[in-house]
A and B are shown apart, each in its own frame.
Chain A
């Protein structure tokens, strides 16, 4: 496929990284130096100039392109470019926006773009999914939300083990009580992946990947968090566009109590007006006295969505000192994810990489509807429609070869099934497959 990417920032770079080996990419950016760096690392063509002009788009070969991804940080540039592309070529268009109102207009088909993604909203959904499943490192949803893939670190030590925890961890999988409608997709121990066969057991310190229904994912989260209650109140530090989107999504989707802390007075007022159900405070996230007085430490979870990573990290550690159990950091620098995890922040969400991931999902082969990358890019999740000619059709699941790939769920007639030993694949089924990245081609051929 010929793809034109506008913007060589973090989002653009992540997209290039994911797509460069399989597709013919042209990257457009105003900044020639950035393009040069990108050109050294990947085999891509680059064009320096304003991507919202006809001349530059034509220079980038938009007429022959199949897809245009406008992912600069400026909404209007992206929209103008997409509008031009609609007239100049037959390419599909993907636009990145930070304005929820543009997204809404697109959903109502009033903006002519094939796919639109908002970093703020993607980040908010990522946070909401993690909060919905406590203790999860990363979660992704598939098949319109019917299937969830969650990554957990199995806790080490401590004696707060609950009964369901004892019936699951340390026992061979065939004897363990696994929450209904879910499967262990992978056990990662000492950096190598174990295929979870019946005699294999989950042990403390493992990182596990689970596929299941959203309810099952929550159940897993409760077990892994070793407590009965799930998150029912959240404090969000920083009410910028991302913080606001997170608050909105949490209120709409999780129906939990949300408190927002924002240091700028006028912004605090603005957010208070927009979120009648949230409680808004005008205070600094690093004001220890305030955190003490408002009993922020009693909250179940806190999200740090301020502008600077360093400040978020400090505030998150401060909140931990005050007793918050679960902290989620929004990071802006790619490397911060590792820093945050090292510092003990439970989850770090990078809005730009979440956005890039979402765009890559769409950009992939149309037969493979969605794709997610886990553990960097070692594992992928595929959503493939099974062909009639597939040699696996009609084979019971228990007889399918175990080769480092696993069919976690199938979507048949619009609803998800979590298959057991006797179930069989049928042509037209959408299979949600967890696989090692190097086996993707193998899996695609098999189905």
Chain B
């Protein structure tokens, strides 16, 4: 009898976690003000947004009321809060898709996939006919990536007084990277500065793109496109309002986008030190940033050479395509300036390079996804040390990054993370292939690998029918759910998600 009771006892304050999630969801309803205003401006129906806003507010408020009196959120509850906020957040974002009369997103799984892809800044889409979607709904899709980029919990930390206690752990779970580089004494100030920098960079990109459009350099770049693409560049999202991603834009715009993707994939704490505080030398001195730029350059040049050699592109165009594609994939943005899915048949090496670039990812503390450059740096150093220690067993060598010692716990956490990541990636590819076989969908192993890597790494486009100009619509509902889970796990850096699946998380 007592054993049965023991087994049922859960030592996580689920109520407290739900209470905080309710509060966060409630405030998320404010996000609908923007598309509502836009719909009114374009004389489109604002009702999907208004209704979604009301439902969200009511749901959040209800959840908060139901669990009143349980406000204390500890370290354990933190994981649950972050994981649930993102599951429910995607549901909230999907509401306008379901409530609108847009047929392409009328199925709940499709709507949820699109919403999760947006919020996690992946950029994989089930839409097949973009021009058919209303302007306000398309902009909502862009906006969902912008919200998810810096993280809604980080945003809440910056503005909500409630999260003053225990916020650090929540933020570390949501913000990518092994550990948080505090910019200010209080976590609240840090969150504020990060969001401020994020907003400022977005504004600058909007101005530059609009300027290119206005001055006639790029006649396809209107104010709408400037805002839409800025909203998905800084969070390294990758959704577009054009059916062919970034292909229609002028070379100048593509270079600007590549530059801002590079910025978005850099550590924002580092950028904050380099840009507003005017200490650009901080960038050069940062080991991760140097490796990040090095990898981007190497990838760009390699692609350019392969493309030029194959005669696909020459001159500036080869370099632009190489750089744009390498930057877009490695920063996990997912724009395309050309249909690179077609490379599989013509230049398979280039396609392979792109899949390989899905793994380094952005820098720690950036809006980019995937493994993160700093983890590769740590693992590289661990490997070198291992080799050294086989020859010199007594050699004691702490791992150092930027002259600071990384403690062995963190080193182990990094190794564990990468192993989990690779495990999920392999598992995802196998599951997608199995499911494709089950429903009779034609999916090559390469395309399955790309689809798993692109969703887990929050990149966006894959290969085959899921290429940058294609759509994820042909996948079965089961596959879409698998990929939504991969995106969710990838965005939260796996640990908060996987921890929820362990016994020791729930037991005392």
Contact = CB atoms under 8 A, between A and B. Distances in A.
B400 A280 contact: no
B396 interface: yes
Interface of A: 261, 265, 268-269, 271-273, 276, 279-283, 290, 293-294
Interface string B400-420: 100101000000000000000
B6 interface: no
Given A273-B405, A276-B403, A282 B396 contact: yes
Contact of B395 (A265, A273, A276, A279): A279
B394 A272 contact: no
Contacts of B392: 281, 293-294
B396 A276 contact: no
Contacts of B394: 261, 281-283, 290, 294
Contacts of B400: 276
Contacts of B346: none
A269 B408 CA distance: 11
Contacts of A281: 392, 394-396
A322 to B, nearest CB: 16
Interface in B370-406: 392, 394-398, 400, 403, 405
Contacts of A283: 394
B285 to A, nearest CB: 15
A281 B394 CA distance: 5
A336 B52 CA distance: 86
A269 B403 contact: no
A271 B395 CA distance: 12
A268 B403 contact: no
Contact of B396 (A272, A290, A293): A272
B245 to A, nearest CB: 46
Contacts, number: 29
B404 to A, nearest CB: 9
A268 B400 CA distance: 16
A268 B395 CA distance: 9
Interface in B121-136: none
Nearest to B404: A273
A279 B389 CA distance: 12
A71 to B, nearest CB: 34
A320 B490 CA distance: 58
The 7 closest A-B pairs by CB, nearest first: A283-B394, A281-B394, A280-B396, A268-B396, A272-B396, A273-B405, A282-B396
Contacts of A293: 392
Of listed B392, B394, B398, B403, residue having the most chain A CB within 10 A: B394
Contacts of A279: 395, 397
A256 to B, nearest CB: 19
Given A272-B397, A279-B395, 16 more contacts: A269-B396, A269-B398, A271-B396, A272-B396, A276-B400, A280-B395, A280-B396, A280-B397, A281-B392, A281-B394, A281-B396, A282-B394, A283-B394, A290-B394, A293-B392, A294-B392
A273 B395 CA distance: 13
A411 to B, nearest CB: 39
A386 to B, nearest CB: 49
A441 to B, nearest CB: 55
A414 B409 CA distance: 54
Contacts of A294: 392, 394
12 contacts: A261-B394, A265-B396, A268-B396, A272-B397, A273-B405, A276-B400, A281-B392, A281-B394, A282-B394, A290-B394, A294-B392, A294-B394
Contacts of B397: 272, 279-280
Nearest to A281: B394
Contacts of A272: 396-398
A317 B321 CA distance: 67
B408 to A, nearest CB: 9
B471 to A, nearest CB: 52
A261 B397 CA distance: 12
A283 B396 CA distance: 10
A276 B403 CA distance: 8
Nearest to B408: A269
A360 to B, nearest CB: 39
Contacts of A290: 394
A251 to B, nearest CB: 15
Contacts of A265: 396
A68 B395 CA distance: 46
B56 to A, nearest CB: 50
B362 to A, nearest CB: 28
A268 B392 CA distance: 15
B295 to A, nearest CB: 25
A290 B393 CA distance: 9
A274 B430 CA distance: 47
